[in-house]
Structure 1
Amino acid sequence: MEIAINKGRSNQGKNQKSSKVAAVPFAPAAQTVAAAASGKMEEKSSFKWRIDGFTSLLDKPKGWTNSGYFEIKGLKWYLQLNLKDQKRGDKRDYVSLMLVLSKTSDLKSDIVVEASFKLLIFDQAYGKHREHEFSHHFQTEESRRSGASCMIPVETLKEASSGFIIGDSCVFGVELIKLTTAKANHSSERVHVQKTNGFSAREAYTWVIDDFLALKGRCYSPEFQIGGRKWYLTMYPSGIDDNGEFLSLYLHMAKPDASLQSSGVPVELSLSIKDQVTSNRNTRTGRCQFVATEAEGDGWGWAKFVEVKSVKDWYLVKGSCLIEADVAIVGSSKMD
């Protein structure tokens, strides 16, 4: 399951309160990524992802769960975890990890990021961590993912004597050994994630979009509240790259108050488009972590959510359609 990311928006238009409004086009300020001369990072940088209430995740269906974002050498990354991966000829479920270079790093096509790194499952009792070392060239859309690594069988992870699950908590991570880019920021950042419990019932929000065919550019919903957090949706009716082939759709966490800054929120989400008569719908689901910082947060969703032609053929009733966000908060985290 692939979930793309999308940058947050400014505060413009956030005071809209109506639950039924036409989507309003919005053009965000241009965002740039600083680049400096090529260099090598010799100092190791790492990211730890602690998941509490881990056994509930083991019960979930097959699919990838995304960590929050972390920054190394001016580039944004995230980890993907699959607890039901399989090897060819082996029917057992495996724990797989993957390192992903975020699209928000906004690399040009001629820039290559060469990384050597370790993917880890931490043994919290005996210190006998399970690790796999890789090298990968991150560059184009097809190579932003390092490739899945079947680390250990799930049954091994669950053994009480293994030390991998302690107090219903499991810790995964990545350790960057060396990172070289053609153009990169020399700075690096070490991030530690500590997750704590905090769950909410599943709730849904419906965004009524009138006159879909008249929309141009980026559109955004009013803010809504689920699980004590404020959220909003962004939609690109002609696609985030404006090619007119696919509609792009994302969920964002709105700017938090001071008490929530630097916190993270793991969620299960479903985004749907449907008509207002038959409730005919197209739905995408996933699990991911939102990080609430002082600035607007990044969004999770799909660049190729649904074909624009399908929207026009199946989901419009008198030019109107519904976008639904179904969200359940399944924990909380703190960035140290």
Structure 2
Amino acid sequence: MGNCRSTARVLPGKNHVLDLEWKIQDFSSLLETGAKSARSDRFHCSGFEWDLEVSPMHKKLDARTAYVALRLVMTARKRVEQGHSVHAVFELSIYNHSNGTYYGCKASHTFDLKNFYSNKHCLIPLQELLKSAAFLVDDSCVFGVEILKVDVTSPEKKAVVVHKKTTTVQNLFVQNKGFIKGTYTWTMDNFPKLDSKHFVRSPTFEVGGHKWYIVMYPCGDKYSTGCLSLYLYLDASKKLPLESKKVVTVTLSILDQKNGKHFTRTTGLLVYTKGFGWADFLGLKKLKDPSGGYLVGSHCLIKADLTIVGSSTEGQV
């Protein structure tokens, strides 16, 4: 369940200038998916790319009450090099339609090469939100983030100034039925002979009229140590139209060929633009343990399960 910092308060009203305004349509459908989280599409600020992530049923440690919690995610990790860090001060909020104010908290976090999620901050109890005629209107609610300050620590002591610009507006739509599901199993017959310094990709497969493929770094990418890295990508030759991106959940698995105890990791809801996965998917020691059944001889089986649950649109104000 994890820690959650709850310091919610009323933030400035209609003069509050957001970097991202994120409206989730059909909030009840989001809950019905059972997803632990949903993540916005990327938005830009101060030379970096960010996501806003909501956990609609988050619980504090040793607590029964479920909260709606937000956290900020730095997505362009390639911009944060070894030895660099980015300290951001920001406000996370939910919009009160009845009085035109935002309700939330001010927070800060230091992002670096392997630390790109802020803490989760609890804004409002879930049951309070569901009963509210101010925060939940027509089964929709609006979340926001404003990045107030960014400081970059690097060998060059580079400083970044936050320039205000138009607000990015995103709408997330979750279907209540008619999900599109697909699965693909990638059989690798020469795992021990793979080049440890490079990635290998699977053949493409189709789900929902779009092409997808798996990417694996057999000895990990630059964001991991002693782990296999695994990602699912959207084929660049079949890009999703910008006006209606797909919202998906992804499960990646390494199949246990001896005991049937597969190793699996699952995302929350994602707006799929390019790819997503885990740098530290599975430790190499565990992967190569003969008792685990993940690597039998030279054979390794990787499975992707993909479900398209909605769509996302974007604009500016």
Q: Which residue of 1 aligns with 2:147?
A: 176
Q: CA deviation at 1:320?
A: 1.0
1:184-230, CA deviations, whole angstroms, 9 ceiling, x for partnerless residues?
A: 58777642212245552322111111111111220111111112222
Decide which moves more: 245-254 or 184-193. 184-193
Q: Kindly tell me: are residues 111 and 259 of structure 1, through their superposed partners in 2, closer, same or farther at Cα, counting changes over 3 Å?
A: closer
Task: Report matched runs for 1:134-145 at 5 Å.
Answer: 134-139=107-112, 141-142=114-115, 144-145=116-117
Preserved contact between residue 243 and residue 314 of structure 2 (Cα < 8 Å): yes
Q: Kindly tell me: are residues 309 and 91 of structure 1, through their superposed partners in 2, closer, same or farther at Cα, counting changes over 3 Å?
A: same
1:125-151, CA deviations, whole angstroms, 9 ceiling, x for partnerless residues?
A: 543432212233334534x33311111
Q: Kindly tell me: are residues 231 and 265 of structure 1, through their superposed partners in 2, closer, same or farther at Cα, counting changes over 3 Å?
A: same
Q: Which residue of 2 aligns with 1:268?
A: 249
Q: CA deviation at 1:302?
A: 1.0
Q: Which residue of 2 aligns with 1:210?
A: 189
Q: Which residue of 1 aligns with 2:136?
A: 165
Q: Which residue of 1 aligns with 2:93?
A: 120
Are 1:317 and 2:290 matched, yes or no? no
Q: Which residue of 2 aligns with 1:193?
A: 170
Q: CA RMSD in A?
A: 2.9
Q: CA deviation at 1:291?
A: 4.0
Q: Which residue of 2 aligns with 1:152?
A: 124
Q: Helix, strand or coil for the counterpart of 1:213?
A: helix
Task: Report matched runs for 1:180-329 at 5 Å.
Answer: 180-181=151-152, 182-184=158-160, 190-196=167-173, 200-216=179-195, 217-241=198-222, 245-255=226-236, 257=238, 260-261=241-242, 263-276=244-257, 279-292=260-273, 297=274, 299-312=275-288, 313=290, 314-329=293-308
Unaligned runs of 5+ residues in structure 2 are 3-15, 153-157
Separation in 1, partners of 2:193, 2:264: 23
Are 1:94 and 2:75 matched, yes or no? no
Q: CA deviation at 1:235?
A: 0.6
Preserved contact between residue 207 and residue 306 of structure 2 (Cα < 8 Å): yes
Q: CA deviation at 1:108?
A: 2.9
Q: TM-score normalised to the size of structure 1? A: 0.75
Higher RCO (CA 8 Å, separation ≥ 6 residues): 1
Q: Kindly tell me: are residues 279 and 137 of structure 1, through their superposed partners in 2, closer, same or farther at Cα, counting changes over 3 Å?
A: closer
1:168-190, CA deviations, whole angstroms, 9 ceiling, x for partnerless residues?
A: 22221211223343355877764
Task: Find the partner of 1:46 among 19, 40, 43.
Answer: 19
What amino acid is the match of 1:99? Answer: L
Q: CA deviation at 1:74?
A: 1.2
Q: CA deviation at 1:165?
A: 2.2
The sequence identity of aligned pairs, in percent, is 33
Q: Kindly tell me: are residues 321 and 275 of structure 1, through their superposed partners in 2, closer, same or farther at Cα, counting changes over 3 Å?
A: farther
Separation in 2, partners of 1:243, 1:125: 46
Q: Helix, strand or coil for the counterpart of 2:64?
A: coil
Separation in 2, partners of 1:146, 1:242: 17
Decide which moves more: 278-287 or 150-159. 278-287
Are 1:78 and 2:51 matched, yes or no? yes
Aligned length: 289
Q: CA deviation at 1:75?
A: 0.4
Unaligned runs of 5+ residues in structure 1 are 3-42
Separation in 2, partners of 1:201, 1:244: 35
Preserved contact between residue 45 and residue 177 of structure 1 (Cα < 8 Å): no
Q: Which residue of 1 aligns with 2:9?
A: none
Are 1:55 and 2:32 matched, yes or no? no
Q: CA deviation at 1:115?
A: 2.5
Preserved contact between residue 256 and residue 263 of structure 2 (Cα < 8 Å): no
Separation in 1, partners of 2:254, 2:93: 38
